[in-house]
Amino acid sequence: MAMQSRALTIEDGKEPSALPKTIQSRVFPVRILQFFGLFLILGLGFSIISMFMIRYWGVQNVVSTARSEFQPCLEEPGSLVRWIRPQSNLMHTMTDKELFWRASLVPQINEYPFTRVPKIAFMFLTRGPLPLSPLWERFLEGHEGFYSIYVHSLPSYEAKFPSTSIFYRRQIPSQVSEWGKMSMCDAERRLLANALLDISNERFVLVSESCIPLFNFSIVYHQLLRSKYSFVGAFDDPGPYGRGRYNENMAPEVIITQWRKGSQWFEINRKLAIHVVGDTIFYPKFEEFCKPACYVDEHYFPTMLTIQAPHHLANRSLTWVDWSRGGAHPATFGKADITEDFLKRILEGQNCLYNDQPSSVCFLFARKFAPSALEPLLQQAPKFFGY
* Higher pLDDT among residues 61 and 324, named by residue: 324
pTM summary value: 0.80
For 30-61, what is each residue's pLDDT tens digit?
666 666 667 667 766 666 666 555 454 444 44
Q: What is the pLDDT of residue 70?
A: 39
* Higher pLDDT among residues 78 and 176, named by residue: 176
- Whether the predicted pLDDT of 246 surpasses 80: yes
In the chain, what are the domains?
84-106+114-318 (3.90.550)
Is the peptide bond preceding residue 335 cis, with omega within 30 degrees of 0?
Answer: no
**What is the Cα–Cα distance from 248 to 302, expressed in whole angstroms?**
18
For 127-182, what is each residue's pLDDT tens digit?
999 999 999 999 999 999 999 999 999 999 999 999 999 999 999 999 999 988 99
* Higher pLDDT among residues 305 and 18, named by residue: 305
Which residue, among 301, 272, 102, has the nearest Cα to 186 in the 3D structure? 301
**End-to-end Cα distance, the chain:** 117
Alpha-carbon torsion (289, 290, 294, 300), positive or negative:
positive
Q: From start to end of the chain, where are the E strands?
A: 119-125, 147-152, 201-208, 212-213, 267-269, 319-320, 352-354, 357-359, 365-366
